[in-house]
Chains A and B, each alone.
Chain A
């Protein structure tokens, strides 16, 4: 049996899933002040239907880190930057407390300016006097050579008692210093509260006699073991929309181009599935207005949900309880769809009454008002989807074949997820002239998605046969090539694959690393004069988002 729990902004959803069927599902309002309680409440209700000993795996998705960062409740953190030459220092508007150090590395990992020990002494004094204990350190091109970051970390740990240091080369191997710095900063900031949360969950599971794999859902639609999440809390942001996207994918399990529309109470999240693969945000997740290296699905969120309140001024971007037809006080978007499409949801006469009141204020016919609202809502969703297509088609390209084979998106299907999806999604599909897909499990597809997705893991190898060096990430492994003279792309790929397997073993996900794919294969001849002096390779290999072996689809 599998358990998936998605702690969302409005509701916490949970499912107990067994052999293609949802045995039990639970929906509770989320207590923003105590996410752990909301989570455990849902877990306990699910356990009423299953023996803890028979639970094979639990996957959690939570907004904890997102909330910590959005409300400024992360720990006070200092950002130490070693940007070297390039953009002016004042362009790094990431953290309030930012300290700049000399020391610089170039794109091939060569040191071009040394660290200044006196300057570091100054930094240490400042840390001691500021009372800040969380430090994020980021150096430009640390992904090519982490020597400066490691040295600064060592000095801080040696001389500042109680300090915790996160360095960017351990957070991401990707180019983009700004994003690496921001991701490291957010990681340092949320590390303690996230670890406390993990401790509490482990304690709670122990009390309940649950001894099974516990994973956390990531923004990339994959899971990571709860233990592994301790070092990378930022990976858990936006896992809610990822759960829905994977839920949509789990319900359909085919290679049709789809848009997943997750209609929540307050917001609607839209994501794309292209030829069966969820689309990633090409620039990474945006956290607190900063681009980061958190690999995330391309999700467009709009402040428009099934419970969005309707007033004389139109559809409002907030929620105030459930729809009138479900016993709420206010007329909502769901009520308007209920009347217009005669859906007979809940108590439709309540929809009539509340919408009727607003129509009367505007001296309008109730039906006409509903039509107007339905049209407005559908149009907003429609234009958001179109904007997503356009953005995807206009992604930059750096190779000739990518430009020649111009992307063109043709939509085949709209997948509705969330409680209000059955009301709103068919109208959108009609406007887009495609089939709607609504499943009986649509209301809890997010939790279902979480329960059945497999772990993801990405490994990048960079090798330079002129300097004879290689780096492997994650982990920041650096070493010398054994036979640089005969090192070829196939060797690079094999080296990356082996590392994927060993990294997977360490992370407790070895059964998944056999199903890998290469997403990056670059090789460049280095020509000096008219001769080849070496080669640069960059190879990326991954366990892509997918489903666990046990999941063979849903029965109905």
Chain B
């Protein structure tokens, strides 16, 4: 039996700010717990050394403003790079699955990155997914976001991608950051049904979450048949998390990962650093490695106190039914959208960066291509904390784009190069080439 890969990168020398929840101490007690357990010594576990992502790995997913270097610290390169190390280990078959216990996190980072949102600048899972596609030609990927906050960044990045199934269950957006993740958010016109949201009411327990897992998530995965399953593994559904209000337990997390059986799990949020994280991280490692976890629990665990509120289950049953239909009817809806006669589908979005206090305005256009998922153009405007205002044009060409989309997208990169925009980007995943040009000087950078 192959071991489970573990990459533990606590970034003991990095914090957003001295008293921010995303701080040096965050994985200290997890370190204590997993090292004291000696779990890395077991034959079922293989520990990996962190790696570094390249600027190109990041540019494959993000339009960083004004450039990649401006949006990251070295810690981000290590965190994203470590997800890639874990992915390589799993795909090469060295390990049966892998868990990257890394920080800083990433699931709130969207395609365009003007700054830090929800403690995230760049999206570790998305960078890993595009890396897997580029390096190994992997086609279908499922990301299950088990963080208590809606994985809005990951959702947006893959919203128009029918080959990535993104499922997020989280505390209802009416009660928690980032305020999105409702059932209506089901994917772009040509990728409808491969974005599935399950907003849960506060105080949902193991019972509720496991019902969703068994009756919605697992059937969807079975039907979607992904080549790789990724758990975007937040740990803040826990009953003791200080920033959220759910009632999930370490046992619940262990069972979730046993059932879900992700190929790769990547740590996201979770800020109950003493009373939850040490135990949840142990739970994930043990479940993924097939180690009996019945003796694992939090010191204050009292299942009698964690009862599913009345009425919650009724609501969950209905959501599960609705979302099964959303997924199962997706091809019909997509066909209808394709025949709508429109050339481009336009949408507008306002994005608030809570950490950096930035307001971004976006216009999104997706080509309703008859042959592929279509290329995308994002026009984005935002004023950065340093006072500079950026108006940029981003062109995104998916890896499996058809020849027409390729030609049009590359053309657009030339035509957009005018005074109208400060920077014009072309994310050409077909060629694995990432260009940006500063229009004022004509200076072009190719990654």
A: which residues have CB within 8 A of B? Answer: 85-91, 104, 106-108, 112-113, 140-141, 175-179, 283, 291, 394-401, 403-404, 406, 522, 524-527, 529-532, 536
Contacts and interface: CB of A to CB of B under 8 A. Distances in A.
16 contacts: A85-B295, A88-B292, A108-B274, A113-B299, A176-B41, A178-B37, A179-B38, A396-B49, A399-B12, A400-B11, A403-B51, A404-B78, A524-B12, A525-B25, A527-B25, A536-B25
Contacts of B11: 398-400
B187 interface: no
Contacts of A112: 299
A175 B242 contact: no
B280 to A, nearest CB: 13
Nearest to B293: A88
Contacts of A394: 49
A396 B13 contact: no
Nearest to A522: B12
Contacts of A89: 295
B202 interface: no
B328 to A, nearest CB: 40
A394 B37 CA distance: 22
B387 interface: no
Interface in B24-51: 24-25, 28-29, 31-33, 35-39, 41-42, 47-51
B41 A179 contact: yes
A524 B24 contact: yes
A290 to B, nearest CB: 9
A463 to B, nearest CB: 14
A400 B32 CA distance: 19
Contacts of B28: 524, 536
Contacts of A178: 37-38, 41
Interface stretch (B14-22, B56-64, B92-100, B172-180): B14-22
Contacts of B19: 525, 527, 530-532
A177 B36 contact: yes
A87 B34 CA distance: 10
B193 to A, nearest CB: 40
A176 B42 CA distance: 12
Q: What does DSSP make chain B's interface, helix, strand, loop or mixed?
A: loop
Given A85-B295, A91-B42, A527-B25, A403 B52 contact: yes
B89 to A, nearest CB: 12
Contact of A107 (B25, B29, B295, B296): B29
A85 B295 CA distance: 5
B25 A175 contact: no
Contacts of B48: 396
Contacts of B73: 400
Nearest to B6: A396
B297 interface: yes
B421 interface: no
A175 B32 contact: yes
B23 interface: yes
A274 to B, nearest CB: 17
A107 B13 contact: no
Q: Which of B25, B36, B81 has the most CB of A within 10 A?
A: B36
A112 B279 CA distance: 14
B374 interface: no
B312 to A, nearest CB: 28
A525 B23 contact: yes
A85 B29 contact: no
A527 B273 CA distance: 10
